[in-house]
Amino acid sequence: MSNYVFVLDANKTPLQPTHPSVARKLLKQRKASVFRRYPFTIILKEVKLNVVSQPIELKLDPGSKTTGVALVSNNQVIWGAELKHRGHFSYQLSVISYQLLTINYLFTGNCSLVTERGELQGYEIREYLLEKWGRNCVYCGKKDVPLEIEHIKPKSLGGSNRISNLTLACKGCNQKKGSQLIDHFLSDQPQLLQQIKTQAKQPLKDATAVNTTRWQLFNS
């Protein structure tokens, strides 16, 4: 079986993978070019609008020496690979467990971020915020320092625990801001103030990958 070819349109929007013969035809007609060789991906010269792609499942088949990986669409394997383990297992795997989240990434400033188990808590909130805010203090820009979850609008002034009101700050900035409104705290840095306000309302785009990926795990 030949792997299907991954396809992007001119805006780098993922489209339904296509058969290698179709990909060769598009390349020969100069309607597409090679975007990446591993995994082989082509990019079209035009933008495709209102394209509905079929759901794609990722399936894993763990074994003692290798793990099979397959992408399946409409019960058809469109791409497959085999991972060779660096060491030899002296036992067979019986179960592989993953933490699965379903994230509502289309929330507005008035909505909570939720998973299939309810509102995100503790570790999950922190990981989400680290990804969203670039793993640095939003006020001073320090990286590689302990970061604390910070309420943009202080709870003492009516601020909520919603994701849109949370960011990350180093201990120094967190204590310095205290219970001040962010408009007052950053009154001498209007550009940074506007940047934080804008980013606070934006969802984490990478969360789409969590929603669109479906895992089906098999016993070995």
Q: Domain extents for the chain?
A: 5-44, 57-100+209-217, 114-200
Q: Tell me, what's the pLDDT at 26?
A: 95
Q: What are the mean pLDDT values of the chain's consecutive 10-residue runs (220 residues total)?
A: 87 90 95 92 88 78 79 87 72 55 40 40 70 89 89 90 88 93 94 91 56 39
Q: Tell me, what's the pLDDT at 108?
A: 36
**CATH (residue range 114-200):** 1.10.30
User: In terms of pTM, does the model score above 0.75?
Assistant: no
Q: Tell me, what's the pLDDT at 128?
A: 79
DSSP the chain: -PPPEEEE-TT--EEEEE-HHHHHHHHHTTSEEEEEETTEEEEESS---S--PPP-EEEEEE-SSEEEEEEEETTEEEEEEEEEPSS--SS-------------TT--TTS--EETTEE--HHHHHHHHHHHTTTB-TTT--BSS-EEEEESS-GGGT---SGGGEEEEEHHHHHHHTT--HHHHTTT-HHHHHHHHHHHTS--TTHHHHHH-EEEE---
